[in-house]
Amino acid sequence: MTTGALLWFILFGMAALLFFTIAFVVTIRGAGDLRHLIGSSETQEKDA
């Protein structure tokens, strides 16, 4: 394996890890945010 390719594989590994970690956290926390968005919209609908 060439040194250049090895360097890019390491950077790829870090980038992929960061992507999937953020995706996992956002999936968990985003569900709560979505409930808040829908909940606040329903409240506004009733107030109106």
Residues engaged in binding another protein (CB under 8 A): 1-2, 4-9, 11-12, 14-16, 18-20, 22-34, 36-38, 40-42, 44-45, 48
CB of 15 to another protein, least distance (A): 4
CB of 24 to another protein, least distance (A): 8
Write out the H or E segment, with its range, that includes residue 45: helix 3-47
Longest dimension (CA), the chain: 66
**CA–CA separation, 32 and 26 (whole Å):** 10
CB of 5 to another protein, least distance (A): 4
